[in-house]
Chains A and B, each alone.
Chain A
Amino acid sequence: MNGLEQFGQDPWWIIAIKVLLVFVVCVVLTLFNIWWERKVVARMQHRIGPNRHGPFGLLQSLADGVKLALKEDLTPEKADKIVFITAPILACVPAFVTFSVIPFGPEVNFFGVETPLQLTDMPVAVLFVMAIASIGIYGIVLGGWASGSTYSLLGGLRSSAQMISYEVSMGLALVTVFLMAGSLSTSQIVAAQEDWWFGALLLPSFLIYCISMVGETNRAPFDLPEAEGELVGGFHTEYSSLKFALFFLAEYINMATVSALATTLFLGGWRAPLGLGTIWAGANEGYWPVLWFFLKMFFFIWVFIWLRGTLPRLRYDQFMSLGWKVLLPASLAWIVVVAVIKMTAIEGGFSPNWFLFGFGLAVTAVVVLGFLNRLPEKEAQVTTPAGGFPTPALPQGGAVRGAAQPLVFGPPASANGVRILPSPEEAK
């Protein structure tokens, strides 16, 4: 009928295990992503990052989570109690629900039952993700409103305006994917990318999606709803303890969700990367695809972290005009182009793939070159005149690169009068 017969056939205990797995994957991903983000950002800033708890500091986020849960739970006097408590739940639950339609792999032997590595699928799976994400926005808006504080209200309003605006360009970027795949179900879209990834075929859509997914998740450089310098903590200023932890969890799951969606829609989902499947047929069978899927997903998450470590925050009006005046018209124009090329190809009886690829590449190259052309010329190195403002000298050999040197604990350093923590062995 519509290629979804493989879903809805599982016995109840398989469904229960899958639900549990989706939940566990979301939570563990969050813990891992927090650790990874801190580690990568630390490296970018020439620091060490968490390294005390567990191997490589891996258990740091677990410790932080426990600490967060045991903190005092404050409710402001002016807060609207019911909404104040509902809001974090409303932000968190949709984040988990969206993961149910993400395909992690093909049909496999799962505890003796042949079943796809996906909780469920429906003819409108991608629209379902958008719909559930729009419910998640409520959590943030209501959290901001219910706190009864100006900062929170402003943060909530900003974030809802931002998420709604970027959802529009995100949705339009997805339309071309639907056009090419002929379906809205995630498993069908992955199946349609057997030969060509949509990321290559629909390069402009892919780029628009990547920009708007950062806006959609309120991450730097688009993290205006929690702009610390202006709004303290934005919508979660008044939240503490578990309620704050739920918002935190929702943000990181959302980051994983949009990454997983980008993987599914543009990078071939669980299919082996770079034509590996043509050389080694086993790469697209069994449990191997799970590895490819997570590799691609972690690539996106790494980009998120990279952006956060690199770019300063945008001004609010610049950010909004980027969404409405650049991304939105660009996606509309690209939809028309894709529709025309695909229709011509159907009428002419040829494959549209190379045309789309070439056209998309050309458009992207023109845009990128035009953008580079507009960048200001690099200013010449300012030489400080004698008696000028005193600035500290740069380190010898130029700027410091790479991670910081690992700390050495022990008696030689403490002999110089520097107070250093004792090593774990010494402490015993």
Chain B
Amino acid sequence: MSFVILASVTVIAALGLLFARKPVHAALSLAVVMIGLAMIYATLEAPFLFAVQIVVYTGAILMLFLFVIMLVGVDTSDTLKETIAGQKVLAALLGIGLGATLIAGVGQASIATMRGLSSANEGGNVHRLADLLFSRYVIAFEATSALLITAAIGAMVLAHRERIDPKQSQTDLARKRVADYAKSGKHLGPLPPPGTFARHNSNDTPALLPDGSQSKKSVPAILAGGASNGTGDEGQGE
């Protein structure tokens, strides 16, 4: 019963992953698939795998996916334009091939009742798993961790950039601002917020200066209807 519910949720989410137009929706469907799989592990008496599946896949890996998708394109939808010629046909052929192999393979297998689970889980699922990982499969385990560390270091090396000038601390920046003020009279503090002393407080209402004139610097360039006016340029006078 629980399998039927979980399996249908998982399959529906997997279809959602295929047919969602927005990448974020697809990533979310994938998250549901992962959680569905984790639940199935839980019903199959593999509690450790259940927790790890959620922590690692849903919590870490998919979150990274989401990060990238959100930062790269907030609103982008999938385009259906092919960038590689004949990609659709090839993909369809390979997909059908994979499906046929899977059906043939699974169809061959005879499914009997589960055996050996209680002896495998004797003394607690977590303890038995730890026993196996740190005795029989210790080399595979260590090799995997070495691989992952290598990958992480590789990514860091690729992204690393040697710093040429020393990093400016908050103190340095403050000193620089004061020096600029002494030299050119550039305003020290933050820009005036929009709407100060004005009739409205919306973002496109310029703040009023003590003499009643409007401060153009208080309105963001995007809202002021053109990037050419006062917000971007430096200088004290209005």
Contacts and interface: CB of A to CB of B under 8 A. Distances in A.
Interface stretch (B119-127, B139-147, B151-159): B119-127
Interface string B45-73: 00110111011001110010011001100
A131 B59 contact: yes
A423 B196 CA distance: 37
A2 B58 contact: no
B63 A127 contact: no
Contact of A1 (B59, B60, B124): B124
B59 A137 contact: yes
Interface in A57-72: none
A153 B67 CA distance: 10
A83 B28 contact: yes
A3 to B, nearest CB: 9
B22 A130 contact: no
B24 interface: yes
Interface string A130-143: 11101101100110
A122 B63 CA distance: 26
B123 A157 contact: no
Given A80-B22, A83-B24, A124 B47 contact: yes
Given A134-B58, A160-B63, A123 B126 contact: yes
B70 A131 contact: no
A421 B152 CA distance: 64
B67 A157 contact: yes
Interface residues of B, number: 30
Contacts, number: 85
A135 B66 CA distance: 13
Given A141-B63, A142-B28, A157-B67, A134 B54 contact: yes
A347 to B, nearest CB: 17
Q: Is the interface of A mostly helix, strand, loop or mixed?
A: helix
A96 interface: no
Contact of A157 (B24, B71, B124, B126): B71
B42 to A, nearest CB: 8
B124 to A, nearest CB: 4
A145 B58 contact: no
B124 A127 contact: no
A164 B60 contact: yes
Q: Is the interface of B mostly helix, strand, loop or mixed?
A: helix
A123 B59 contact: no
A18 to B, nearest CB: 19
Nearest to A78: B75
Contacts of B200: none
B74 interface: yes
B47 A122 contact: yes
A92 interface: no
A119 interface: no
Interface in B1-49: 22, 24-25, 28, 31, 35, 38, 47-48
Contacts of B125: 123-124
Question: Which among A130, A134, A183 has the greatest number of chain B C-beta atoms within 10 A?
Answer: A134
Contact of A128 (B51, B66, B170): B51
Given A80-B22, A124-B47, A131 B124 contact: no
Contacts of A131: 38, 50-51, 54-55, 58-59
Contacts of B52: 127
Contacts of B47: 122-124
Contacts of A123: 47-48, 124-126
A258 interface: no
B80 to A, nearest CB: 21
Nearest to B62: A138
Contacts of B54: 131-132, 134-135
A183 B70 CA distance: 39
Contacts of B48: 123-124, 127
Given A123-B48, A137-B63, A164-B63, 20 more contacts: A2-B123, A2-B127, A80-B22, A80-B24, A123-B124, A124-B51, A130-B51, A130-B55, A130-B59, A131-B58, A134-B54, A134-B59, A141-B70, A142-B66, A145-B66, A145-B74, A157-B70, A160-B66, A183-B124, A184-B126
Q: Which 6 A-B pairs have the closest CB atoms?
A: A134-B59, A131-B54, A127-B51, A2-B124, A124-B51, A124-B47
Interface of B: 22, 24-25, 28, 31, 35, 38, 47-48, 50-52, 54-55, 58-60, 63, 66-67, 70-71, 74, 122-127, 170
23 contacts: A2-B123, A2-B124, A80-B24, A123-B47, A123-B48, A123-B124, A123-B125, A124-B48, A124-B126, A127-B51, A130-B55, A131-B51, A131-B54, A131-B58, A134-B55, A134-B60, A135-B54, A135-B58, A142-B66, A145-B74, A148-B74, A153-B74, A160-B63
